């Protein structure tokens, strides 16, 4: 079973899961407060957010490379697409209300995934606009170094904006 078949067969339950899980995790932390339980519950919820962000970024990168934004508008379910950013933003805001984000183990992982997703979306967008013919003439490790430099610049900019490392 692929993610696409899962999303087409169970669209409404997946949508409800994406909308309600940040709030369920928040109210579990309200009902069962504790120094060991809260980081675990919030970490599981943020891990689900990371998975949703990876699927969202992967779909956007794939669809923008194969058919452009017009294809996304025609074929994609907009509510499912909007539920992934909603889940990430809502989970982070609600987790921040319960604990400092640096005490939640999955938050650093999510920061890295969001940053890498943004870099890959940027590269897919730029490669759709500009054809990089010189990448076919340079070795793959040089391409990975360029990707790493862009990722490092994005991470430095992210830490400058949000100020927490």
Residue 57 buriedness (CB in 10 A; 0-12 / 13-18 / 19+): buried
Confidence of residue 135 (pLDDT cuts 50, 70, 90): low
Find the length of the chain.
165
Contacts of 142 (CB under 8 A, 6+ apart): none
**Dist CA 51 CA 129 (whole Å):** 28
Question: Which range has the worst mean pLDDT, 33-37, 73-77, 81-85?
Answer: 73-77
**C-alpha span between 44 and 32 (Å, rounded):** 15
Phi-psi region of 77 (alpha: psi -120 to 50; beta: other; left: phi over 0): beta
How far apart are the C-alpha atoms of 48 and 32, rounded to whole Å? 20
Compute the average pLDDT of residues 130-156: 70
Whole-model pTM?
Answer: 0.63
- What does the alpha-carbon distance between residue 98 and residue 69 come to, in Å, rounded to a whole number? 38
Q: With a cut of 70, say whether residue 94 has pLDDT above it.
A: yes
């Amino acid at each position: 079973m692929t993610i696409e078949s899962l999303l087409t067969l169970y669209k409404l339950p997946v949508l409800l899961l994406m909308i309600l899980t940040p709030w369920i995790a928040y109210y579990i932390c309200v009902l069962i407060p504790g120094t060991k339980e809260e980081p675990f519950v919030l970490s599981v919820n943020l891990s689900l957010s990371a998975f949703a962000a990876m699927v969202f970024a992967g779909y956007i990168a794939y669809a923008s490379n194969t058919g452009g934004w017009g294809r996304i508008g025609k074929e994609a379910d907009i509510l499912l697409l909007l539920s992934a950013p909603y889940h990430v933003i809502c989970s982070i805001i609600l987790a921040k209300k319960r604990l400092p984000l640096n005490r939640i183990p999955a938050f650093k992982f999510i920061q890295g995934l969001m940053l890498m997703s943004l870099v890959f979306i940027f590269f897919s967008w730029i490669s759709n606009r500009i054809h990089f013919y010189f990448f076919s003439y340079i070795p793959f490790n040089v391409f990975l170094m360029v990707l790493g430099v862009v990722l490092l610049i994005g991470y430095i900019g992210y830490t400058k904006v949000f100020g927490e490392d």
